Amino acid sequence: MTFDRRDFIKVAGGTVAGLIAAGIVPATANAAARTDFGVSVFPFPLSQVTLLDGPFRSNMGRTASYLSFVDADRLLHTFRLNAGLASSATPCGGWESPTTELRGHSTGHLLTALAQSYANTGTAAHKTKGDYLVAELAKCQKANGYLSAFPESFFDRLESGQSVWAPYYTIHKIMAGLLDQYLLAGNAQALTVVQRMAAWVNTRTARLTTAQMQASLQTEFGGMPEVLANLYQATGDAAVLTTAQRFDHAVILNPLANRQDQLAGKHANTQIPKIIGAIREYHATGTQRYRDIATYFWDIVLARHSYVIGGNSNGEYFQQPDAIASQLSDTTCEVCNTYNMLKLGRQLFFTDPTRADYLDYYEKALFNQVLGQQDPQSAHGFVTYYTPLRAGGHKTYSNDYNDFTCDHGSGMESNTKYADTIYFFSGETLYVNLFIASQLNWAARGISVRQDTTFPEQASTRLTITAGGGHIALKIRIPSWASGAQVRVNGAVQAGATPGSYLTIDRTWATGDTVDVTLPMAITLERTPDNAQVQAVKYGGIVLAGQYGSATLSALPTLDPATIAPTSTPLQFTARANGANVTLAPFYKTHHQNYAVYWSVTAARPPLLAWYRFDETTGTTAADASGSGNPGTLSGGTTWVAGRTGNAVNLAGSNGYVRLPNGVLSGVGDFTVACWVRLTTLSAWSRIFDFGTGATANMFLTPSSGSGTARFAITTGGSGAEQRVDAPSALPTGVWTHVAVTLSGNLCILYVNRAEVARNAAVTLRPSGLGATTANYLGRSQYADPYLNGQLDDFRLYSRALSAAEIRAL
C-alpha cells in the first residue's frame, strides 16, 4: 500500500561556484571540495541581491514573519520524544502530529527557509533560530548517526515491504535543511550532523541487495540522491556519492534514458526529485546519461503534461500525455511539483544556458502559480496545496500549526529565495532573467545594478548602473511571448531583441548608464492539446482568470474572445461569458473567490490533423491515429518494415509513395510537419513530403536540394517563387533522423534531430493558399524528381506551430 496524501489531508557545486549553481549556496559559502561538471553559468549569492518593493518582497515579508513566529520547540517535540528526551511543548497538528508517520519533515523545510532568509536579508533572529534548531537536533541524534522524529523501525518496515509513509522523504528534508544551514548560514555543527546522517544512510543501504534496494525505492524517498550528491560536492567524500547512486530508481530512469514517456499513472512529486537527483549526479560525475534523463524528462513534462500556469498533475499523478482539458479538478497542480520543476529548470539552465526556454518556464510558473500560492491577506503567508483549475475553483490555504503539509514546507522555501534567479553570471557576462524589482551588488566586479519595474502591471523594466563600471556582456531575456520587444541603452535602440532568446549588449558600462526594456503584451488564447475548444486566456505571459465571487460554476463558461476589452485598471479586462459580463484579472491575484482559468471557446479544427504511426503489417492503408479521419494509402509497391518504433513504411526509391487524402491542409495557416526518416540513399530533390496541386502550387521537404542542403519550400508561383528554409547540409543516410518544419505567423523553422538548424522570418505563404490540394504525397514529388529511397515513421501533421520544447518531446 502507498499512502495517499490527499486522503491524509481529507482526514487531518563542488567549488563554491559549483554549489552556487546547485542552488544551495546563495550566500557567503564555506569552502567546497569539488567542481561541478558541465556548469558554465552561476547564480549570485543571495546576499548580493536585494528585493525592492513589489509583490515578491511582500510575499517574502509575510513568510519572514512566520519564520520568526513559529515555535521551534513545538517542531522539536517529536524529535525529542523519539530520542527519549523530555519535552513539554504543545504538539503540532497536521502532518507533524505525533502519530503521523511523516513527522519531522517540516523542521527540514524550516531549516532551509531560515538559512535562505538569513543569507538574503541578514535577519539575526533567523540565524539564532537556525542555530538553536541545529544544536537541539544534534542532541537527538543517535550514536549510529540516525536522526528523525520517528523510530528507526520505520526502515525495517520499508525494507520488508510493509506499509510505511515515506521515511526517506523525511530524512531528505532534514539532511537538506542541515546542509543549507552549513552552506548558507555558516553553521559548522550542521555539517557534522548531516555527515553522520549520511553515514547512517550508507550503512543502512549498503547491506541491501540491488533488488532489495530497488524494491524499497517504490516508496517515495524525496530528494535523497540530490542531497547526497550535493553533500559529496561539498565534502568530496566518495562514500556519499556511492550512497547517492543507490537511490537511482531504475524503473523510472531507464525509460527516460530511452526517451520513453511512461509517466502516466505515477505520482508526480515522487518522480521530479529523482530527476533533480539525476542532474546533480551529472554535475558530480559527468555521466552524460544523467543529463539526458533530466533533459528528456523536462521536455516531455512541459510539452505533454503541463497546464497553462506551469503546474502539472491531477490528483497528484501524471495523466496520459496531452490530457489537460479532461483533467480539470480541485486537485490539479500540486505546488510542490512546481517548486521542484523550478529547481530542475535552474539546474538545466546552468548546464545549457543557450536554452532561454528554461527561464521562460521559470517566469511562467513563478508568476502564474508560485506568486499566487500565498494568501496576501494572511500575516504569516499561508499557502495553497493544490491549485484548482476546474470551473469554479477556489484556493484554500494552510495555517500556523495544524497543517504542515509538504507544500506548507516548500512554501516557506519558495518565499525566501525569490532573489536567487533574477540574475546569473558567467565571467564578465551578466544574465538578466526575471523582471523583478531588485538591486544587484556584483562584488567581484565592483558594479551595482538596480532594476526598477512594476512588471507585469507595466510591460517594461529599467536597469541602471548605480555604482562602478567596466566591461560587461549584458544578456537580457526576451520572453517568447514578447513579440516586438525593444531594448534601449541610454535611449539608443538595440537590434536583435528576438522572442525566446537573450539579447546581448557587449560594451563598457559606466555609472548612470540605463537600459530600458519594453515588452509588448497582448491577449492570446492557449488551447488545450486534447480539446481545441477548451482554452485559457493570457495577457503576455500572465494567465487571466474569470472572477466569479461566490457564484458556482457547474461547467466551463462559454467565452466570447471578441468581447475581451481592457479596463482602466492594469491587467484587468472585461468579457462576455455565458451571455453575461465577467471580469478577467491575473490568476496570481485571484484569492478568496471562485474563478475560471479554462473556458469553452467556439470549436476550432483539431490541431493534430493527421498522425501516421505506420505500425501496420499488412494491407495498403495507413491508419490516422489523430482521430481526424485522414487515412493514408500505400502506392507503387510500398511495404511495411521494422521501424524506429514498431513498424515503418519502406519506400524503395523507384515508384513507392504514400498518398494522403485530398484537402488534408485545407484552411490551414500555421502548421507543423514532423516525422522520422531513414535514408537508404540520398537523391537530390527526392521528397519526404510534397503537398500541392502540381508544379505551380505546393509545399515540400527534400533531404537534399540541388545545393546539397535539406530544404523546405512553399510556392504558389512555381519553383521561381519559392519561399525557402535551407538547412546547412543534407540529411544523413543509414540512420534514423527526426525532421520537422513549423510555421508561426511569418516565421518558418526547420528542425533536424529536434534542434533548430535554420529559420526564415519572411514566409508569407500558407498551406491555405495552396487551395484544395489533391496531390499530397509522402516520398513523391510534384515534379519528375526521384522517389525517396528509405523509410518513414511517425509522420505527424498539425494545424499549429509546435514550440521548440514540443518538438524536442516528439
**Please, are residues 513 and 465 in contact by the beta-carbon 8 Å criterion?**
yes
Half-sphere exposure of 300 (CA within 13 A, CB side): 23
In this prediction, residues 281-294 reach a mean pLDDT of 98
What are 492-533's pLDDT values in tens digits? 999 989 999 999 999 999 999 999 999 999 999 998 989 889
Enumerate the CATH 2.60.120.200 domain ranges in the chain, comma separated: 608-809
**Please, are residues 409 and 269 in contact by the beta-carbon 8 Å criterion?**
no
Residue 53 predicted with pLDDT over 50: yes
Enumerate the CATH 1.50.10 domain ranges in the chain, comma separated: 5-420
Q: Which pLDDT score is estimated for 30?
A: 55
Alpha-carbon distance values, 122 to 42, 299, 370, 699 (Å):
22, 38, 24, 62
Q: Report the alpha-carbon distance of residue 679 to residue 690 in Å, rounded.
A: 17
Pick the CATH number of 608-809 from 1.10.10.10, 2.60.120.200, 3.40.1190.10, 3.30.1240.10: 2.60.120.200
Q: Is beta strand 639-642 parallel, antiparallel or unpaired with respect to 647-652?
A: antiparallel
Q: Which pLDDT score is estimated for 604?
A: 52
Q: Which pLDDT score is estimated for 285?
A: 97
Residue 27 predicted with pLDDT over 90: no
Q: Report the alpha-carbon distance of residue 244 to residue 600 in Å, rounded.
A: 47
Enumerate the CATH 2.60.40 domain ranges in the chain, comma separated: 423-518
Q: Which pLDDT score is estimated for 32?
A: 62
**Please, are residues 277 and 347 in contact by the beta-carbon 8 Å criterion?**
no
Q: Report the alpha-carbon distance of residue 162 to residue 264 in Å, rounded.
A: 25
Side by side, the strands of the sheet bearing 42-43 are 42-43, 423-426, 429-432, 470-478, 501-509
What are 447-489's pLDDT values in tens digits? 999 999 999 999 999 999 999 999 999 999 999 999 889 999 9
- Write the class of the CATH domain 5-420: mainly alpha
* Among candidate residues 172, 301, 170, the one with its CA nearest the CA of residue 224: 172
Q: What is the pTM assigned to this prediction? A: 0.81
Lookup: cell for 302: 512541459
In this prediction, residues 416-438 reach a mean pLDDT of 98
Residue 108 predicted with pLDDT over 80: yes
Query: How high is the mean pLDDT of the chain?
Result: 94
What are 231-258's pLDDT values in tens digits? 999 999 999 999 999 999 999 999 999 9
Place of cell 519526404: 688
Radius of gyration of the chain (CA): 28
In which band, very low, low, confident or very high, does the pLDDT at 20 lie, cut at 50, 70 and 90? very low
Q: Report the alpha-carbon distance of residue 544 to residue 524 in Å, rounded.
A: 10
Q: Report the alpha-carbon distance of residue 413 to residue 418 in Å, rounded.
A: 9
Residue 9 predicted with pLDDT over 60: no
Q: Report the alpha-carbon distance of residue 743 to residue 745 in Å, rounded.
A: 6
Q: Which pLDDT score is estimated for 354?
A: 94
| Rounded percentage of the chain residues whose pLDDT exceeds 90 | 89
Lookup: cell for 103: 513527522
Q: Supply the DSSP string of 245-307, one letter for each residue.
A: HHT--HHHHHHHHTT----TTSBHHHHHHHHHHHHHHHHHH--HHHHHHHHHHHHHHHHHSB-
Q: How many CB atoms lie within 10 A of CB 490?
A: 10
Residue 5 predicted with pLDDT over 50: no
What are 680-708's pLDDT values in tens digits? 999 999 999 999 999 999 999 999 999 99
What are 596-637's pLDDT values in tens digits? 999 999 755 567 899 999 999 889 999 998 888 889 999 998
**Type of residue at 91:** P
Q: What fold, for 423-518?
A: Immunoglobulin-like (2.60.40)
Q: Report the alpha-carbon distance of residue 182 to residue 24 in Å, rounded.
A: 10
Residue 33 predicted with pLDDT over 80: no
